[in-house]
Amino acid sequence: MTATTATAGLNRPGTWLRRRTGGLAPSGWAAVAVLAIVVLISFVGPYLIHTDPNAVDLSSAYYAPSAAHPFGQDASGRDILARLIFGGRTALIGPFLVVAASTVVGTVLALAAVWFGGWFDAVVVRVIDAIFAFPGLLLAILATALFGAGLPAAIVALSISYIPYIARVVRSAALRERSLPYVAALRVQGVRGSMISLRHILPNVASLIVANATLAFGFALIDLAALSFIGLGVQPPTADWGAMVGQGMAGILQQQPAESIYASVLIVITVGAANLLGDRLTERSEARA
Amino acid sequence: MSALLEVEGLNVHLPVDGSLRRVLHDVSFTLEAGKALGLVGESGSGKSMTVRTIARLLPQGAKVDGHIRFDGTDVFDLRSEALRRYRSGDVSMIFQDPRSHTNPVRRIGDFLTEAMRINGKVPAREASRRAIDLLAEVGIHDGERRMRQYPHELSGGLLQRVMIAASVAVRPRLILADEPTTALDVTTQAEVMGILGRLQREYGMAMLFITHDLELAAASCDETIVLYAGGIVERQQSKRLHDDPLHPYTAALVQARPDIDHTTGRLPAIPGNPTSAYEAPDGCAFAPRCRFAQDRCRQAFPPLLTIDGIGASRCLRTDELRGTLLAGATTEEVTQ
């Protein structure tokens, strides 16, 4: 009864945010800020600017920055700033879909493998290892060769090849969690395995999942940008950072590197921030485990 | 009244480093509805394994022989859905360490209402109202606030009461209490035992109570079983156990306790170390430490002898030694 008063304060409503986000290092918060700005510009920006990113004006190819075109114009005279903003949307949605799909599938697969154990677990582990053996980019190139160049095939292929990254981490964490006494206590209460997995084990490994999904987001962005760079991903004239780096290559030879450089810098900043945040989140979840 | 729980010839082996090791050796007992039965023994004597086997909570690869019948049905014949119903409705378990047996990221309210909502199909609002009533039953009167708290915000005694509330929530017919008070301090222990005993009698639940505290078993159970090295050595009415033990091991345990009425120098100890079931010798497991042991004790595993109207003992010399076990041991033991 004495513990009543001492611990009562922990339940103040105002501490919810702190409880959920506590323990994140300052560099992690910086990464959050950078990502928030990138996402905001990419998704709100297109509604704020009135320049058509696909408006071709061959007479003003490679024009230097001006009041109307602050970042200059590309080989076809299109506004680089507008293309960077619209391209951000494409560049971010792709990896987001990849991460969402592979995280959901990987997590469910891992939780099921841990719960059922035995031969099912063995099969899942082997399949995961087999997928691991294929470089994701190679699988994506194969998929685009089979189903035609474009974002959808690349996203599906990358989603599959990213499943192991999530599934492995979730499996090992869930395995540890499953052996804890509280799981035995739930089983003896007659709680279904699916319930224990989803309502008890999953929340306890959630922080690890978020951390790894964040890391995977950075890798997926690079992979998709690389695919678009070699022309197998996003197809012209749709604006995309990876595609812009590729299209800007011609300009580099003509002393006009602006388009490639701007797009590259945005990719580096976004991926760097995602990796940094992913690392900080991993450290945080490990500190708690 | 027919027995609610019948355990018959239970042998359990667990895989350790690739080989099977014996953890339970010919455990048989019955428990009638509404009665409390104590399981007493040293660490590693098989108390928890017995209870875990009844709840079907054995690790993978365990080998089980014998029968456990609950209300006439063999527990090992239960398959998925029937097993779930058996665990959720018929038996419930209270663990030694409430802290590690609750999910740290779920609130007390979720913990208490979970079983009701998924097994009894009780709507959430009704479930939480009942949970608050249950908390009041176990002496927690600010239930509404407790429901919103996390396990780490409660003291050990408080959390164990929550565990008790959760385990009686579905009105099970059998409660398996695995050292429910060992992790608590002595004053809290008395409170928790009081609550558990009262609920057990009020709801007419049978209870299998594990402890290594003979006094506690005597105070809260009708009958007590003493386990040694994975096997039952004695079964008797709790109140007789102290005055008239049937087995030399029980007698030695009784003598090893301090007595508040007398001052003693050194307490008589049992020579040697407790053995595990798998390293127990052929014959009587206690023979190497027993001052009454004879050659025939070491030859074959002795049967559990029933003594009509009193209990049972796994000692070949039970009849011969009866009444003399407690006499004269003190001096002999101290000199060793």
Rounded to whole angstroms, the Cα distance separating A143 from A232 reads: 10
**B116 or A85, which is more confident:** A85
Count of domains for chain B:
1
Could you give the C-alpha distances from B47 to A100, B5, B41, B168, in angstroms and in order?
48, 16, 7, 22
Cβ count within 10 A of residue B206: 21
User: Do residues A129 and A255 make contact, with C-beta atoms less than 8 angstroms apart?
Assistant: no
Rounded to whole angstroms, the Cα distance separating B103 from A186 reads: 9
Closest-CA residue of A relative to B153 is A7
Task: Choose among A289, A82, A260: nearest CA to A177.
Answer: A289
Rounded to whole angstroms, the Cα distance separating A35 from A31 reads: 6
- In sequence order, the 6+-apart residues with CB closer than 8 A to the CB of B115 are A189, A190, A191, B88, B166, B169, B170
Q: Mean pLDDT throughout A50-75?
A: 77
Residue B296 lies in a domain: yes
Q: Which residues of A touch B86 (CB under 8 A)?
A: 190
Query: To the nearest whole angstrom, how far is the Cα of B55 from the nearest Cα of chain A?
Result: 7
Confidence of residue B332 (pLDDT cuts 50, 70, 90): very low
What tens digit of pLDDT does each residue of A115-172 get?
988 899 999 999 999 888 888 888 888 888 888 878 888 888 889 989 998 999 999 9
Helices (H), chain B: 47-54, 80-85, 108-119, 124-137, 143-146, 156-168, 186-202, 214-220, 238-241, 248-255, 318-321, 329-335
| Neighbouring C-alpha atoms within 13 Å toward the C-beta of B326 | 14
Q: Residue A184's Cα: distance from chain center in Å?
A: 35
Residue B231 lies in a domain: no
Point out the residue among A10, A191, A204 whose CB comes nearest to the CB of B153: A10
Q: What's the confidence (pLDDT) of residue A9?
A: 41
Q: Identify the residue whose tokens are 């792709």.
A: A94
Point out the residue among B88, B95, B154 whose CB comes nearest to the CB of A181: B95
**A103 or A204, which is more confident:** A103
Residue B103 lies in a domain: no
> Which domains are delineated in chain A?
93-241+269-288 (1.10.3720.10)
Q: Mean pLDDT throughout B235-240?
A: 85
Backbone dihedral angles phi then psi of residue B329, each to the nearest 5 degrees: -75, -35
Residue to substitute from B153, B163, B192, interface A, most A β-carbons within 10 A: B153
User: Do residues A91 and A241 make contact, with C-beta atoms less than 8 angstroms apart?
Assistant: yes
pTM over 0.80: no
Chain A residue set in contact with B, beta carbons under 8 Å: 1-4, 7-8, 10-11, 117-118, 180-182, 184-192, 195, 199-200, 203-204
Q: What's the confidence (pLDDT) of residue A20?
A: 62
Residue B131's SS3 state is helix
pLDDT at A277 over 50: yes
Mode of pairing for the β-strands spanning B73-74 and B63-70: antiparallel
Tell me if ipTM is over 0.85.
Answer: no
Point out the residue among A1, A180, A200 whose CB comes nearest to the CB of B106: A200
Backbone dihedral angles phi then psi of residue B211, each to the nearest 5 degrees: -160, 165
Rounded to whole angstroms, the Cα distance separating B90 from B76 reads: 15
Residue B324 lies in a domain: yes
Q: Which domain holds residue B305?
A: 236-259+266-335
Rounded to whole angstroms, the Cα distance separating A205 from A173 reads: 6
